[in-house]
A and B are shown apart, each in its own frame.
Chain A
Amino acid sequence: MEIIIEFISSLLMMLPPARKELEFFAAVSDATYRAIREAEIRLPPDVVAAIREAARNETSDIARQELGHILENIALAERLGVPICQDTGVPVVYLTVPPAVPVTTDLMEAVAEGVRKATREIPLRPNAVLPLERINSGDNTGPGMPVVHIRPGKRLEITVLPKGAGAENMSRLAMLLPTEQNRIPRFVAETMLIAGGRPCPPVVLGVGIGGTFDGVAALAKEALIEPIDAMDPFEQELCDAVNALGIGPMGLGGKTTALAVKVKTASCHTASLPVAVNVQCWAARRATREVIW
């Protein structure tokens, strides 16, 4: 039955009447808009739970106060329906695309339209500029923006990860030697040592290991889509290594520098060991919406 429906809908997609097509792209824009809205205003429950847990564990007055401000801010943003942070980020979008949906420039444009609408209506701070001219587009779109990653899937789903600059700027990449596996915890800890309070700790670290020079950075960012309520022993080891530094909330000292570390791996060249650390501030914003049309 499901196969038949999929077959029929794929036929419909191949011969879309103009109106149906317009409705489809409007639905993509709308789902993008709604995902961004959700992400900007409400933190995922696993992130809020991790911050609450951190607040319970801290013993320093200042660290407790910083986490208290964060929790108060999260509640206030949700109550007022406004963005959690004024750095509403740049839009990073992950699309899972079913076989029936062709990946076209119109599809990309529909996602961009959702970003423009979100910028106008939520509203978001226009952050996207041309890199050398520093000219702001005013709507958070531009060449290569939003950043859209596409992967095959069963349903058409849009996941957004609005990425602020304070934490993004502290991210690092290293091409380690294949024999330097034991340097990975050091590299991860060193990333936060250099960053200190600048990326708004407590952070979440997305760590990519393997792949290629460009691929490992994408893996590190993809790791940030994962829920943070569970860590495997290696992730926990990395998280402990970071928290041992005592940087604490906002770099003012404390037990919690990282709420979690998430790792993603991919095969790499036998002569390489790429490692990337993508730093995410405590406002670990993400949301997913399915496109229904």
Chain B
Amino acid sequence: MSPIHLKTPLSREVLDLRAGDQVTLSGTVYTARDEAHLRMMEDGIPFDPEGAAVYHCGPVISGSRIIAAGPTTSARLNRLTGFLLDAGVRALIGKGGMSSQVADQLSGRGVYLALTGGCAVLAASRMTLRGVYYEDLGMAEAIWIIELDHLPLVVGIDSLGGDLFGTVAREANLQFDCRYTM
């Protein structure tokens, strides 16, 4: 099955995606980790959040070049994400999945897209650096404005509550219980 192509700003089209769908994404993404989320909550979002995609990533940047830019663990941002979705952000990109609370917040609004963790060079090969906010937070924590060219992703959590990570985790729990507690 060939992947579904998406381009930012994202619209209601993301609501048709289902967990497990393979997609590619082009357009603009904004990187944000823990520190950037905290500052955005304090000072407001420095970019137009309507239809935006936020990428959980702390890249290695050299001059104006993106050397490596794979996803960071999204779960660290579970409790810091609601305000972004309230503001109109349509896609969160990261690795490892997010909490059921975030899945609820995505309901009817947006999706969580999983990028293969550690594939920093593959990701960087589809990226061009366009700018930066909050550079004082340091390389890993700043918000980098990045243009994407067909970044390959999997829909991890869809807007109907479908959660691939959740399904796998439930199955893993079942297997564990069968082996060790029954």
A complexed with B: yes
Chain A residues engaging chain B, CB cutoff 8 angstroms = 61-62, 65-66, 69-70, 72-73, 76-77, 80, 82-88, 123-127, 136, 166, 169, 186, 189-190, 193, 196-198, 200, 241, 244-253, 281-283
Q: How far is the CB of B30 from chain A (nearest CB, A)?
A: 16
- Chain B, interface size category, equals 35 or more
Question: Which single residue of chain A is at the shortest CB-CB distance from B139?
Answer: A125
Query: Could you say which of B73, B122, B165, B167 contacts A166, with CB atoms under 8 Å apart?
Result: B73
Q: How far is the CB of A261 from chain B (nearest CB, A)?
A: 16
Does B156 reach chain A (CB closer than 8 Å)? yes
Chain B residues within 8 Å of A281, by CB = 117-118
Closest 8 CB pairs of A and B: A200-B117, A86-B68, A69-B116, A73-B119, A198-B96, A86-B120, A245-B172, A73-B122
Q: List 27 A-B contacts (CB under 8 A).
A: A62-B154, A66-B116, A73-B116, A73-B118, A73-B121, A82-B124, A83-B68, A85-B119, A86-B70, A87-B58, A87-B120, A123-B62, A126-B139, A127-B140, A193-B172, A197-B97, A198-B73, A198-B95, A198-B97, A244-B179, A246-B168, A246-B175, A247-B172, A250-B95, A250-B96, A251-B169, A282-B118
- A245 CA to B22 CA, complexed, in Å: 24
Interface of B is mostly: mixed
Nearest chain A CB to B114's CB is how many angstroms away?
A: 6
Say whether B117 contacts A246, CB under 8 Å: no
CB distance from A284 to the nearest CB of B (A): 11
Within 8 A of A (CB), among B92-118: 95-97, 114, 116-118
Knowing A248-B168, A252-B114, say if A196 contacts B122 (CB, 8 Å). Answer: no
Residue of A nearest to B138 (CB): A136
Q: Is B164 an interface residue (CB 8 A)?
A: yes
A84 touches which of B22, B118, B125, B173 (Cβ 8 Å): B118
B69, closest chain A residue (CB): A86
- Picked from A66, A77, A246, the residue with its CB within 8 Å of the CB of B172 is A246
A65–B22 alpha-carbon span in the complex (Å): 10
Asked whether A86 and B169 contact (CB < 8 A) given A76-B125, A193-B176, A281-B118, the answer is: no
Q: Shortest beta-carbon distance, A44 to chain B, in Å? A: 15
Taking CB atoms, residues of chain A closer than 8 Å to B165 are 196-197, 251-252
The 8 Å CB contact of A83, one of B67, B122, B139, B168, is B67
- Kindly supply a per-residue 1/0 record for chain B positions 117-156, scoring 1 wherever the CB is within 8 Å of any chain A CB and 0 otherwise: 1111110110000000000001110000000000010101
Query: Which residues of chain A have C-beta atoms less than 8 A from B173's C-beta?
Result: 193
Q: Which residues of A contact B75 (CB under 8 A)?
A: 198
Q: Contact at A189–B179, with CB atoms within 8 Å?
A: yes
- Interface centre among A124, A126, A169, A193, by most chain B C-beta atoms within 10 angstroms, is A193
| A residues near B68, Cβ cutoff 8 Å | 82-86, 88, 125
Interface pair A250/B67, CB less than 8 Å apart: no
How long is the Cα–Cα vector from A283 to B119 in the complex, in angstroms? 9
The 8 Å CB contact of B118, one of A198, A200, A244, A248, is A200
Which of B70, B122, B175 is close to A245, meaning CB atoms less than 8 Å apart?
Answer: B175
B171 at the interface (CB under 8 A from A): yes
Complex CA–CA separation, A281 to B167 (angstroms): 22
> Chain B residues near A73 (CB, 8 Å)?
70, 116, 118-122
B81 within 8 A of A: no
A76 to chain B: which residues have CB within 8 Å? 121-122, 125
Chain A residues closer than 8 Å to B125, beta-carbon distance: 76
Q: Which residues of A sit under 8 angstroms from B70, Cβ to Cβ?
A: 73, 85-87
Residues of A within 8 A of B51 (CB): none
A-chain residues with CB within 8 Å of residue B62 when the two chains form the complex: 123
A186 touches B122 (CB 8 A): no
The minimal Cβ–Cβ distance linking A265 to chain B, given in whole angstroms, is 22
CB <8 Å contact, A197 and B116: no
Chain B neighbourhood of A82, CB < 8 A: 67-68, 121, 124
Would B59 and A86 count as touching, CB distance under 8 A? yes
Determine whether the beta carbon of B121 is less than 8 Å from that of A166: no
Tell yes or no: B72 within 8 A of A by CB: yes
Instruction: List residues of chain B with CB within 8 A of the CB of A189.
Output: 176, 179-180
B140 with A85: CB separation less than 8 A: no
Check B156–A252 contact: CB distance below 8 A: yes
Is B60 in contact with chain A by the CB < 8 A criterion?
yes
**Chain B nearest CB, measured from A164 CB (Å):** 8
